[in-house]
Each structure stands twice: as structure tokens, then as C-alpha cells.
Amino acid sequence: MHRIIGVFLVIIGLAVFRFSTVSGGGGDPAGARGEIQSAFENADELILCGWDEVFVLNLSGPGGPVKVWSWKAVEREELPDSMKSMFETTDECKPADRGRKLIVTSSGGGVALLERETGKVLFYGKADNAHSAELLPGNRLAVAASHKPGGRGDRLIVFDLDVPGKELTSAELPWGHGAVWDEKRQILWALADQDLRAYKLKDWDTDHPALQRVWIIELPEGGGHDLYPVPGTAWLSVSTSRHCWLFDRDKRSFKLHPDLADKRGVKCISVNPSTGQLAWIEAEGENWWAQNVHFLHPEHTLYLPGEHLYKARWNGVVKR
């Protein structure tokens, strides 16, 4: 995911963040706090990641956004020491099991399933340049592994959650960046650099499961990056290098995203399943990361100074 150049961050503790409603960052203008509180008073928690920390913000606290949960690999005794450095740049922080668990991946090669309440690592594995993952039936986990020179990325990997690090099967996925299990259609959708791929779960009740590819749908442009369901709809949101799209899972067709069509470098799109508010992050300047989370419906920008943000996911139940 990233070419990391630079400096260490100032660590922000478990406290209220300074924030701004001015797009692109900036100060803390008068009146911003009241506007933000009003916009977020009925919102769910927001899960954020990008650097070595995965954290959760309560956006509806009486004093504004508050960090209520934090996880760092270096602090977890359940993780082998050899795995801890593999979570220095996290690139997915997806809720699972009705918000009771979190899926974390890292371009550093780490994959983990966490218990939301305690932060306990329930599963860990290695996948070169892992960029996203998804729970599958049968207590399994699919991981989209992107490109790594000389490595074993460019794959969609299925792990056995009962055995740390155990690969069961894999399929080719060039520059893999996204994975979504579609319970209704019994399809695993996976995002590559140039196309969106669909798989059925074959021989899933055996010791030798497989991914049977059933469709390859060419993207409207290259640079497939984020893949995430729009709650309660047939749509998947998709970001590419210069645009954002909606993909209709029934018609298997793309259309430009009604809100984010011409946004470039978008790292994530997530719609709140309760309120419909959309959260998104785009790379800032020449960086792969951002210090701002943008919101639509209603529109606001949350400024988190010193952070290196890559993904923002609403917590809670996501209907897929």
C-alpha cells in the first residue's frame, strides 16, 4: 500500500480530538463544535485506521468526538513477537459479527480478527500486502492480498480461523484490494486492479475447499481500491484511481457515484446503516494518508491532526 517516508507521529491519547468543519483541515473555528454535535447526535461509532493504531470514535459524545477504544499490535500478548511489526501500517478495520468483532489488515503483511470488547486477538495470519478481508461461512476468512515484489501477494487467500496462519486455498487476484461476502447471493466479491471478480464457495464442507470464479467484470477504469457494501441495497461502492462508482450486484453493472463521482485517491467509502450518513477518506497531497474524515448527508469534515488515516468504517450491523 504505502511507501513510508517520514517522521514519527505525536501519539494522541484517549481524549477528545481537536477537529474542524473546514474542508482540508485547518483550525477549530467558532461554532464548529455545536454543528458537529448536532450532525452526529444519532450516529454510530466510527472505526479508523491507517498507522499502527486502530481506534474507535464516539461521534455523539456530549463534548464532541471521543476516542473510546484503541488497539495496537505491539501491546497484544496473544500476538507472536514476529507478527507485531506487521501491523505498523493498517489498511482495513472492518466490523464483523454484528460489531462484536473487528477485522484488521496491514500492508505490512498482518491479518487479525479481534474481539471488540477486549481487543483480544482471536486469529492472526500473514498475507503479503494485505489490504482487506472478510468473514466467510464455516469459520473462515478471505483476505485480499495486493502486489509485493518477490512476495506471494496478488491473491485472494482463505484462512482457517481455527488455526492461526493456516491457508486453505487461494485464487489469483492482481493487486487485490477488497473482499465482500454477499450472503444473499452466496457470492464472494473481490476487487483487483482492473476488474471485480465473483466467486462461489466450492466443496466448502470438505477439508479441501476452493474458490470457483464465476464472473470477471471489467472496471470502468484501473486502480481498483475500495470495495464496500451500501447497507440495505444491491450496490457496492467502488473507488478507482480517479473516480468513485456504484456497482449493481444484480445487473452486474457500474454507474458513477452520485456524490463522489470525480473524487480522486479515495481510500474508503462507508455508509452508516442507521442514519445513511456517508464517511469517506481521500489521500491528501502526495501522501497515501489523510488527517481528515469527510462526511456527507449531512456534510462535515472531521480534522484529526497528526493522524495518518486510511480507512473509516461505521460500526454496527451492516446489511449486505
100 assigned to some structural domain: no
Lowest mean pLDDT, pick from 18-32, 46-60, 139-153, 195-209: 18-32
Q: What is the pLDDT of residues 257-275, one digit of tens each?
A: 999 999 999 999 999 998 8
Q: How many domains does the chain have?
A: 1
- Give the CA count within 13 Å in the CB-facing half-sphere of 156: 30
Q: What is the model's pLDDT at position 286?
A: 85
Q: What is the pLDDT of residues 184-208, one digit of tens each?
A: 999 999 999 999 999 999 999 998 9
Question: What three-state secondary structure class fits 40?
Answer: helix
Q: What is the model's pLDDT at position 49?
A: 97
pLDDT of 15 above 90? no
Q: Please count the other Cβ atoms lying within 10 Å of the Cβ belonging to residue 285.
A: 7
Q: Which of 71-75, 95-99, 204-208, 316-320 has the highest mean pLDDT?
A: 71-75
60 assigned to some structural domain: no
175 assigned to some structural domain: yes
Specify the pTM. Answer: 0.86
Lowest mean pLDDT, pick from 34-43, 102-111, 258-267, 289-298: 34-43
Lowest mean pLDDT, pick from 33-42, 253-262, 283-292: 33-42
pLDDT of 73 above 90? yes
Q: What is the model's pLDDT at position 9?
A: 35
Q: Can you name the residues that pair with 188 across neighbouring β-strands?
A: 181, 199
Q: Given its phi and psi angles, is residue 21 left (phi above 0), alpha (psi -120 to 50 degrees) or beta?
A: alpha
206 assigned to some structural domain: yes
What mean pLDDT value characterizes the chain?
87
Higher pLDDT residue, 39 or 281?
A: 281
Q: Are 191 and 144 in contact (CB under 8 A)?
A: yes
pLDDT of 79 above 80? yes
Rounded-to-10 torsion of CA 174, 177, 181, 187: -30
Q: What is the model's pLDDT at position 285?
A: 87
Please give the residue range of the domain that contains residue 261: 127-266
Helices H / strands E in the chain, number of each:
2, 24
166 assigned to some structural domain: yes
142 assigned to some structural domain: yes
74 assigned to some structural domain: no
User: Residue 259 is part of a domain; what is its CATH number?
Assistant: 2.130.10.10
> Hunting for cell 473509516 — which residue is that?
312
pLDDT of 76 above 50? yes
Q: Please count the other Cβ atoms lying within 10 Å of the Cβ belonging to residue 144.
A: 30
**What is the Cα–Cα distance from 69 to 310, expressed in whole angstroms?**
18
71 assigned to some structural domain: no
**What is the Cα–Cα distance from 91 to 268, expressed in whole angstroms?**
10
Q: Given its phi and psi angles, is residue 161 left (phi above 0), alpha (psi -120 to 50 degrees) or beta?
A: alpha
Q: What is the pLDDT of residues 207-245, one digit of tens each?
A: 899 999 999 999 999 999 999 999 999 999 999 999 999
Q: What is the model's pLDDT at position 121?
A: 98
